[in-house]
Homo-oligomer: A and B are copies of this chain.
Amino acid sequence: MGNGTALPLDAETKVIERPSDHKDELRLWLRLFSCKTLIESEIRRRLRDNFDITLPRFDLMAQLDKAPAGMKLGELSQRLMVSNGNITGLVDRLVTQGLLDRQPAPNDRRTQLVKLTAEGRRSFRTMANAHESWIAEILGELSASDQETLMRLLGKAKASARKTIGQGDAR
């Protein structure tokens, strides 16, 4: 079963005839990807229908909610794993919406500190509660033990990827 297809080959033949076959890894990656897409689409839909907000904006607010003192833009872009230019526009739109507050940092004139406004925080907390329960609902069929295992193996996958890519640190 480990090899998916129904080729009439015994274990030895497999090794001989397909010396560097990596179809299984590929399938794993595709499954990870489609799992993410499926869940993400649903979350995006619910955020729009219930709160009229986009997922990127919600994600950005989630980071700021964890940093009451505010965050630098570069810090945001690292945490959200997106480009700098992306954050600039996203923050612009959230500031316009009145959900974010943007101020120059005290010691460094290159840096902007961004934080949630009172309204932004109130608004985020409401959405976050719903969001958290949606996720729990969507993943509802996984047992606690399934969840733990998944968590551990995804951690291992991340570590493996980081090792290859060469950025051992960060989040």
* Residue ranges of A at the interface with B (Cβ–Cβ < 8 Å): 2, 20, 22-29, 31-42, 81, 131-133, 135-142, 144, 146-151, 153-165, 171
Contacts and interface: CB of A to CB of B under 8 A. Distances in A.
Contacts of A158: 31, 34-35, 38
Contacts of A36: 32-33, 36
Main secondary structure of the interface of A (DSSP, over half): helix
Given A38-B158, A150-B157, 14 more contacts: A20-B133, A24-B144, A25-B147, A29-B135, A31-B151, A35-B161, A41-B81, A42-B164, A138-B161, A139-B157, A139-B161, A141-B156, A141-B157, A146-B153
Contacts of A151: 24, 27-28, 31
Given A34-B171, A153-B149, A161 B42 contact: yes
Contacts of A24: 144, 147, 151
B39 A29 contact: yes
